[in-house]
């Protein structure tokens, strides 16, 4: 069982607020004319929106959060109806992929209501993919319904297969529960990709075995460098493992063949010839991936972050709540994309504060 004593019970502490309301979008409404897509100042079409539905999480991963986190007041969160309206505006303007994130998205009360509403864009063909990133702790409960709603792929964040090490990294997670959630998703027909943060001295020697395990179950895997987002209890310099170094170690055991495969995100993929599976590398520090950025991130409070590694954001909550129609909101989105920066400024140096003060759980992991 997960140790949630520090945060009371999941069903109370993780609730946003009761959302028994009427949804604003009518099912019988005619499909709107599709306007021109959103294009940033550098000619990049914005086709991918990541939506954080909560900053709360039932884990406290050491590289992501402080152990004693101060979460947002529940009253500050957008309602599920408001999140649906925001997503609809982006889909109208050419966004083809929505990813639900957190914190841990599946601890948001009534979250399946949002998935049910957003799935209409899959049915209409306006959306290519609706997916989520999760720590897997709640996946066993929700996998069958997610599959029924058209979710075909999920990312599960998992940094180790050692139960004791998993407890140390997450500070309160239970590895068997996560593994059971992964199996539930696979049985439901959902394709699982494993995301692992490469941590120096902690899981770096376990990476080859994790690759063999994931590929043996038909799952892709992606390695991610530690990102300097938010203040934590330790020093990320001690955690940072350049993936260029990790790759060199992997090449001592495996044959890595570069692939053109892309999933809409920043990962660059190789095929591991010995396993037949795919391995991705996300390298925000050692190899900037900004030149092809096609995504923006929406927080659970309605802030639109145009770049993961920059503090500039646009407030979409105010125009959202200013009127019942979406004209003000649409213009606010257009104005925001017009100032999307070229790239991030991530750097990890000892004795420096985090490059970006907000935690990943606020922006959307």
Residue 50 marked ligand-binding: yes
**Rounded CA separation 152/83 (Å):** 21
Residue 219 marked ligand-binding: no
Which positions ≥6 away from 176 have C-beta within 8 Å?
A: 163
Bridging pattern class, strands 277-282 and 191-197: unpaired
Six-digit token string for 50:
């990541």
Six-digit token string for 69:
């986190």
Residue 57 marked ligand-binding: yes
Which positions ≥6 away from 274 have C-beta within 8 Å?
A: 253, 254, 255
Q: 179 near 143, Cβ under 8 Å?
A: no
**Rounded CA separation 357/363 (Å):** 11
Q: Which of 126, 128, 89 is nearest to 336 (CA)?
A: 89
For residue 103, cis peptide bond before it (omega within 30 degrees of 0) = yes
Residue 300 marked ligand-binding: no
Residue 120 marked ligand-binding: no
Residue 193 marked ligand-binding: yes
Q: Which of 232, 228, 358 is nearest to 300 (CA)?
A: 358
Six-digit token string for 6:
């520090």
Residue 295 marked ligand-binding: yes
Q: Which of 103, 90, 109 is nearest to 17 (CA)?
A: 109
Residue 290 marked ligand-binding: yes
Residue 364 marked ligand-binding: no
Residue 33 marked ligand-binding: no
Residue 156 marked ligand-binding: no
User: What residues does 71 pair with on adjacent strands?
Assistant: none
Six-digit token string for 39:
């294009």
Residue 356 marked ligand-binding: no
Residue 363 marked ligand-binding: no
Sheet containing 303-305: give its strands across.
256-258, 268-272, 277-282, 220-224, 191-197, 153-157, 129-134, 97-101, 48-52, 295-298, 303-305, 313-315
Question: Could you tell me which residues are annotated as the binding site for GTP?
Answer: 50, 99, 133, 193, 295-297
Binding residues for [4Fe-4S] cluster: 57, 61, 64, 290, 293, 307
Binding positions are 50, 57, 61, 63-64, 99, 103, 133, 157, 193, 227, 290, 293, 295-297, 307
Annotated binding site for S-adenosyl-L-methionine: 63, 103, 157, 227
């Amino acid at each position: 069982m997960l140790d949630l004593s520090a945060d009371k019970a999941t069903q109370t502490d993780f609730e946003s607020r009761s959302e028994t309301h009427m949804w604003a979008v009518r099912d019988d409404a005619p499909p709107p004319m599709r306007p021109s897509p959103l294009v940033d100042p550098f000619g990049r079409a914005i086709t991918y929106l990541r939506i954080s539905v909560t900053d709360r999480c039932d884990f406290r991963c050491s590289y992501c959060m402080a152990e004693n986190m101060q979460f947002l007041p529940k009253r500050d969160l957008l309602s599920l109806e408001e999140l649906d309206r925001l997503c609809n505006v982006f889909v109208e303007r050419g966004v083809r992929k929505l990813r639900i994130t957190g914190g841990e998205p599946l601890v948001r009360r009534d979250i399946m209501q949002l998935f049910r509403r957003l799935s209409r864009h899959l049915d209409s063909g306006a959306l290519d993919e609706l997916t989520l990133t999760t720590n897997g702790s709640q996946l066993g409960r929700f996998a069958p319904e997610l599959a029924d709603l058209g979710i075909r792929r999920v990312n599960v964040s998992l940094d180790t297969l050692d139960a004791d090490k998993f407890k140390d990294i997450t500070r309160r997670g239970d590895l068997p529960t996560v593994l059971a959630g992964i199996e539930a998703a696979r049985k439901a027909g959902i394709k699982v990709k494993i995301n692992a943060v490469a941590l120096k001295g902690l899981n770096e020697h376990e990476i080859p075995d994790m690759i063999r395990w994931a590929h043996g179950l038909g799952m892709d895997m992606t390695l991610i460098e530690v990102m300097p987002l938010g203040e934590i209890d330790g020093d990320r310099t001690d955690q940072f493992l350049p993936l260029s170094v990790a790759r060199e170690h992997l090449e001592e055991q495996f044959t890595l063949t570069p692939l053109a495969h892309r999933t809409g995100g920043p990962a660059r993929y190789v095929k591991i010839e010995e396993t037949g599976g795919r391995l991705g590398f996300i390298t925000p520090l050692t190899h900037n991936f900004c030149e092809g950025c096609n995504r923006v991130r929406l927080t659970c409070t309605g802030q639109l972050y145009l770049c993961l590694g920059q503090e500039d954001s646009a407030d979409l909550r105010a125009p959202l709540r200013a009127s019942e129609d979406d004209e003000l909101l649409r213009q606010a989105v257009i104005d925001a994309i017009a100032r999307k920066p070229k790239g991030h400024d991530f750097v990890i140096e000892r004795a420096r504060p985090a490059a970006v003060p907000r935690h990943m759980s606020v922006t959307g992991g």
